[in-house]
Every structure is written in structure tokens, then in C-alpha cells.
């Protein structure tokens, strides 16, 4: 181990000691790559959650009355704290989630945390003058919603936590944040670092099971729920929130399609195609999950992606050479391997991969390209959420769009073409919250992001993201004549 790696490991151990449960208590959390125990997550109860929400409620008014300028200054200090601890947090994240340090993975995720938090802190949300005439002056202003419940996923646990808590805090809300049961330790460490500079009880983490998550969604003192995860869980949150009428932002499942149009120069897009699908070893809501390729370039695309898959290093994330890691958990591993086996049995061609990488560890699955597969195959119609990409051949462009749009989710999609005008016309035909051209999955903190259909509702990022964690108030009074 290099000197810098040893220093990061030591710093990560210090952070871990700050947040993990005392010896003999809590729940064991394994290293995703080695399955060795990293530490023990606190096992908070519903009673603990109730107390956390009570504290957050008590702190909310003072936090809101600080004003935007002071809150922004504190969030910028929190971003500085994340940067100062980035290497230790990345080390802990890599072990717990499995993603490698390098590539678009752990260090990338920590950089995104800082960038998004800084953008949240500095984005201006102006009030809107609706009427200003002789008889009436009416203005629309944005105020804090109150207490926000943030429920995060296991695939990008730190980054998505920031997506939730950053804008919520910026607008004057207090936050109770519940990380995934699979990746609690890195999120608890991130929040501990932020809480070194934030006022007490403005941001409270809670580490518990599904009963805690259900109570958070239904609690009468929660004013807003932000959730990223499966569509099935999102539906349960909607049902739970009926009693408290909490406002919702839901970023749910996706089964993103990409379409390669005829005449596209494959060498120009192959690397971006690969990473659009295999970022975070395919464990990304807005990754490309199915690719439709025209006859004229089909074989070339399949061969190019297979070559990249075979040459991309996979292994333990703490090895600086690797850029693909394991599946994070056994249930997800079983979903991926089961869908690939089903495709193979139905006659699809597994070009490369299609097997567990048992030499690397228990939950590693080789990057897999599946060709000559029917559009109605399970690997195409279901979100595999792992390192397996089905490539579907088409000859009729209208058919490709019908297939791409023929699912009940619509988070992201992409079109690929060497002709910019063709690409823009094609993008307008895709049914998704975001359509990328000649890329897939790239996000920007000022560009709104959200899904349609069963991929959820509500927007995150930028000005629209700030609005989503606020409530509107109209202030109406005398116009110019009455002043």
C-alpha cells in the first residue's frame, strides 16, 4: 500500500469510528468487494426517528430566519469540509458501495458532492412580481417547506444524498436523512463532516430499516419527502404520504433506451456508448439499459462495445488500476445473472461476459454484451441495473422509436448520430425526462432532472430544484395608486 493510500485508509477509519455503532451493537456492513466486515451501522428505531424529527422541527425556524446569505455561507463551508475529507470519504465509499476510486466512480462522486453543494449555495431564486399596476401589487415568494425527509439509494449514496439535502438546506428547511440499509456508513460519515460546520439539528441522519423509512414517509411532522429508488418503493411512499399530505419529489426506476441512427460513425461514439451503459458497473438509474442499433452499423457497434468491455479493468475498487467493481449486493447480483441466463436460454448471443467473475470475488459479474436479442426479452424489458447491455437490431427507424418508448418508465434516453439535425429531430421523439445526444447520463447542477411515466415526478437541480423544496406564498397589497 502506498503512503497516500495508507493515509486515506487511516483517515477513513477515523471517520468510521465517529459514526459506527459501539462494539456489539448495530448491524454489520460488509466490504462490497471482499465481503469482510467494514463496521457496524447504528440500528435506529422508529422512536429514534420520532425524536430526530422533533429536534429538526424545533431547529427549523431559526435556520430559516438566518436568511439565504448566511445559510449559503455555511453550505459553502460544508462543501469545503467535504473537499478536505474527500479522499477518506472516497476510500470508505469504495469499500462499502464497491465502486473503484478511479474512473467515473468514488472520487468522481465526492467531486460531484462538492460541486452540487456549492451550486445549491450560490444559485439565486428570485421572487416573481405577478402584477404591479395602479390597483394591485402581487408578488410570488418561495419559503421553506419545513422538515424534509430524505431517503437515499445505495448506488450513488453520497452524491444523491447531497442532491436531496443541499437544496433543502439552502431554502431553509431542516432535514432528516435516511441512507440505504446497504450503504449507511459512508452517508453517516459525509453528514458528520458537514455537521462539523452546520448548526445543531439542522441535518440529522437516521440509520434504520424499512420500518423507519415507512414512518419517515408517513410522519405527520414531515412536510416534504425526497426519494430516489425503485418504482415499487416509490408507490408505497405515495400511499404512506396520503395521511400527512407531504409534498414529494420521486426519482424512480428507469430502463433508459439509446438509439444509434443509420450512418453514425461508430468509432466516434463507442467509448461514450460504453460508459453510458457501464458507469458505476451499470448500477445507475439513468444509465443506458438497452441499445437499439440500425442494421447498417449493428455488427460494428457490437464488436466495438465487446472489445471495450473485455479491455476495461475490473476488480477491488481500492486498486488504482480498476474502473469497474462488483455488484453492491447479492439480490442485485442475482437479478443481473438471472436475466442474462434467461436471455441466453432464449437464443440471444452473449458476445462477451455472461458469467460471474469468481476469481475477483463473490459479487463480481463480468461486463456483458448481449446481441441478437428480441425486444420482448426480460433483459430488455426489465431494468437489470448491472453490467449487462442488450443490443437490439432494427431496420425501420419508426420501429426503433416504438420499442424505445414502449415501456412504462421514462427517466432518460439518448440518440446517437453523426448528423446534428437528425439527432435533434430524433431526440424530440423520445419519451423521457431527459434526452441526451451522443452521450448518456451526464448531469449538470444547473440543468433540471426528473422522470416521466413511472420514473417519478418532480424536478431536481438548479432553480427548479430549489423551487421543489419550497412552498409558494403570494403577498398581495395596494398598487402604486394606494402607496
DSSP classification of residue 449: B
Q: How far is the C-alpha of 104 from the C-alpha of 415, rounded, in Å?
A: 21
Check residue 472 and give its pLDDT.
Answer: 97
Res 29: pLDDT: 97
pLDDT attached to residue 482: 67
pLDDT confidence of residue 5: 87
Strand 27-30 vs strand 37-41: parallel, antiparallel, or unpaired?
A: antiparallel
- Pick among 3.40.190.80, 3.40.50.1000, 3.40.50.1820, 3.40.309.10: CATH of 256-437: 3.40.309.10
CA distance 227 to 409: 16
Kindly give the residue spans of alpha helices, DSSP state H, lying in 139-230: 157-170, 184-195, 210-218
109 given a catalytic annotation: no
Q: Find the Cα–Cα–Cα–Cα dihedral 300, 366, 310, 111, rounded to 10°.
A: 100
Are 7 and 13 a contacting pair, CB within 8 Å?
no
Q: Of the residues 87, 96, 109, 251, which is catalytic?
A: 251
- The angle at the Cα of 390, spanning 386 to 326, to the nearest 5 degrees, equals 20
* CATH superfamily of this structure's domain 3-252+455-472: Aldehyde Dehydrogenase; Chain A, domain 1 (3.40.605.10)
Diameter of the chain measured on Cα atoms? 80
pTM here is 0.96
Helices 106-122, 86-97: axis angle to 10 degrees equals 120
Query: Would you list the domain boundaries of the chain?
Result: 3-252+455-472, 256-437
Give yes or no for a contact between 455 and 231, defined as CB atoms under 8 angstroms apart.
yes
- Residue 4's pLDDT is 84
Per annotation, catalytic residue among 181, 285, 383, 460: 285
- pLDDT at res. 481: 78
Give which of 434, 450, 451 is closest to 442, Cα–Cα: 434
Residue 2: per-residue pLDDT: 83
**What local confidence, expressed as pLDDT, does residue 23 receive?**
87
pLDDT in single tens digits along all 483 residues of the chain: 788 889 999 999 999 999 999 988 999 999 999 999 999 999 999 999 999 999 999 999 999 999 999 999 999 999 999 999 999 999 999 999 999 999 999 999 999 999 999 999 999 999 999 999 999 999 999 999 999 999 999 999 999 999 999 999 999 999 999 999 999 999 999 999 999 999 999 999 999 999 999 999 999 999 999 999 999 999 999 999 999 999 999 999 999 999 999 999 999 999 999 999 999 999 999 999 999 999 999 999 999 999 999 999 999 999 999 999 999 999 999 999 999 999 999 999 999 999 999 999 999 999 999 999 999 999 999 999 999 999 999 999 999 999 999 999 999 999 999 999 999 999 999 999 999 999 999 999 999 999 999 999 999 999 999 999 999 999 999 998 766
How far is the CA of 165 from the CAs of 113, 152, 171, 356, in angstroms? 11, 10, 10, 37
Decide if 285 is catalytic. Answer: yes
Amino acid at each position: 500500500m502506498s503512503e497516500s493510500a495508507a493515509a486515506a485508509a487511516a483517515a477513513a477509519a477515523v471517520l468510521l469510528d465517529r459514526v459506527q455503532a459501539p462494539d456489539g451493537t448495530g448491524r454489520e456492513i460488509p466490504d462490497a468487494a471482499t465481503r469482510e466486515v467494514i463496521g457496524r451501522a447504528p440500528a435506529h428505531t422508529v422512536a429514534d426517528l420520532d425524536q430526530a424529527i422533533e429536534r429538526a422541527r424545533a431547529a427549523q425556524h431559526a435556520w430559516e430566519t438566518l436568511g439565504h446569505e448566511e445559510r449559503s455561507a455555511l453550505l459553502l463551508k460544508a462543501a469545503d469540509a467535504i473537499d478536505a475529507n474527500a479522499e477518506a470519504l472516497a476510500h470508505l465509499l469504495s469499500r462499502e458501495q464497491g465502486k473503484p476510486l478511479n474512473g467515473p466512480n468514488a472520487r468522481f462522486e465526492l467531486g460531484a458532492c462538492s460541486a452540487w453543494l456549492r451550486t445549491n449555495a450560490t444559485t439565486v431564486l428570485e421572487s416573481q412580481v405577478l402584477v404591479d399596476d395602479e390597483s394591485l401589487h402581487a408578488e410570488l415568494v418561495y419559503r421553506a417547506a419545513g422538515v424534509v425527509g430524505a431517503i437515499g439509494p445505495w448506488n450513488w449514496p453520497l452524491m444523491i444524498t447531497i442532491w436531496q439535502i443541499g437544496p433543502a438546506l439552502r431554502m431553509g428547511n431542516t432535514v432528516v436523512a435516511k441512507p440505504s440499509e446497504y450503504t449507511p456508513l459512508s452517508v453517516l460519515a459525509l453528514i458528520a463532516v458537514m455537521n462539523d460546520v452546520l448548526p445543531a439539528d439542522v441535518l440529522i441522519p437516521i440509520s434504520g430499516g424499512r420500518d423507519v423509512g415507512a414512518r419517515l414517509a408517513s410522519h405527520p411532522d414531515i412536510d416534504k419527502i425526497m426519494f430516489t429508488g425503485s418504482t415499487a418503493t416509490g408507490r408505497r411512499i405515495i400511499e404512506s404520504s396520503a395521511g400527512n399530505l407531504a409534498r414529494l419529489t420521486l426519482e424512480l426506476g428507469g430502463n433508459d433506451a439509446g438509439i444509434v441512427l443509420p450512418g453514425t460513425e461508430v468509432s466516434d461514439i463507442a467509448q461514450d456508448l460504453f460508459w453510458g451503459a457501464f458507469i458505476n458497473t451499470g448500477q445507475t438509474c439513468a444509465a443506458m439499459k438497452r441499445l437499439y442499433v440500425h442494421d447498417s452499423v449493428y455488427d460494428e457497434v457490437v464488436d466495438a462495445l465487446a472489445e471495450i468491455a473485455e479491455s476495461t479493468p475490473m476488480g477491488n475498487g481500492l486498486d488504482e488500476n480498476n474502473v469497474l467493481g462488483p455488484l453492491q449486493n447479492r439480490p442485485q447480483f442475482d437479478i443481473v445473472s438471472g436475466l442474462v441466463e434467461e436471455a441466453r436460454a432464449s437464443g440471444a448471443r452473449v458476445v462477451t461476459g455472461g458469467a460471474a467473475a469468481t476469481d475477483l470475488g463473490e459479487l463480481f459479474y463480468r461486463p456483458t454484451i448481449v446481441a441478437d436479442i428480441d425486444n420482448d426479452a426480460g433483459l430488455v424489458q426489465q431494468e437489470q441495473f448491472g453490467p449487462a447491455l442488450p443490443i437490439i437490431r432494427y431496420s425501420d427507424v419508426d420501429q426503433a422509436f416504438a420499442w424505445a418508448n414502449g415501456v412504462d418508465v421514462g427517466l432518460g434516453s439518448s440518440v446517437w448520430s453523426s448528423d446534428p439535425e437528425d439527432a435533434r429531430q430524433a431526440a424530440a421523439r423520445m419519451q423521457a425526462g431527459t434526452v441526451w445526444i451522443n452521450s448518456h447520463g451526464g448531469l449538470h447542477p444547473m440543468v433540471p432532472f426528473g422522470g416521466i411515466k413511472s420514473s417519478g415526478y418532480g424536478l431536481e437541480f438548479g432553480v427548479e430544484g430549489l423551487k421543489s423544496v419550497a412552498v409558494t406564498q403570494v403577498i398581495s397589497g395596494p398598487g402604486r395608486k394606494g402607496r
